[in-house]
Amino acid sequence: MKILIVGGGNMGLTYAKSLLNAHIVTKESMMILEKSNEKAEKIKDLNVGTVFGEPDAYIKEADLIILAVKPQDSDILFSKIKGFIDHQQVVLSIMAGIPMTKISSALDCQKIIRAMPNLPAQVGSGMTVYTSSVEVTRIELVMVQNILNSTGKTIYVDNEELIDASTAISGSGPAYVFFYIQSLIDSAQHLGFSKSQAELLAYTTFKGTINLFNKHNFSCEEWISKVASRGGTTEAALNSFASNEVKAKLGEAYQAAFSRARELSE
């Protein structure tokens, strides 16, 4: 199987490395199309596959084409590679907000899989939600699922609108987590800890909490009740969250991310 990754940025390279590490393909079967000369040279140094700077007939050799460019660059990309796409090729898009109908129309192809991974895919702990057009065969879908699983966990959905929803939750989610961790760090420093002490407090607390959650079957609500004793310090913080409608405000933020994903789709 030959794979072409279009875009040698963070996610493009993440898939290249993951596929090689999982022995799904060899570097001889890996092709990467990267328009930036500077990035292309760096990718060549990594020795993960054959690097190209411009579209050409080699695109037809790929069994799977992974579109890993920014959504705002999609129209230019489509116009450049359209003439080299074969109807039997499977196109996997990880571009946020670009619907399968647009990809199909722009590239004159039918076998399309749309996925939304997230940043932890870089360390094999990603979360990817994906869907497919009806023309994709079961065997082809399993092939792509194995590829996506090489970067972490996956969820298949029938409704493409859930791809935009996952963009707002898991796709953008790592930034929300970093935002919360940074708030802990800032508050710890405000309370008198040094920067390094504050970072250790926040990072270790977050990591330890996730590890604890994974070792038991308690829900988040049950864990909260275990930590928050009546009249205690945790309850005081939670009451402040409630009075300031923090949960509702967070919901509004996630909805804003979803609305933006929908705007990109349209």
68: its two tokens: 């890993």
pLDDT value at 159 more than 90: yes
pLDDT for the residue 97:
85
Radius of gyration of the chain (CA): 22
To 5 degrees, how large is the angle CA 250–CA 122–CA 103? 75
Domain extent listing, the chain: 3-158, 173-265
What is the C-alpha separation between 155 and 131, in angstroms, rounded? 9
Q: Per-residue confidence at 262, pLDDT binned at 50, 70, 90? A: confident
pLDDT value at 265 more than 80: no
**Percent with pLDDT over 70 in the chain:** 100
Note the CATH number of domain 173-265. 1.10.3730.10
pLDDT value at 89 more than 90: yes
What is the C-alpha separation between 198 and 201, in angstroms, rounded? 5
Closest listed residue to residue 166, CA positions, set 258, 74, 249, 95? 258
Q: Per-residue confidence at 47, pLDDT binned at 50, 70, 90? A: very high
The domain defined by 3-158 folds into: Rossmann fold (3.40.50)
Question: Residue 109 in contact with residue 85, Cβ under 8 Å?
Answer: yes
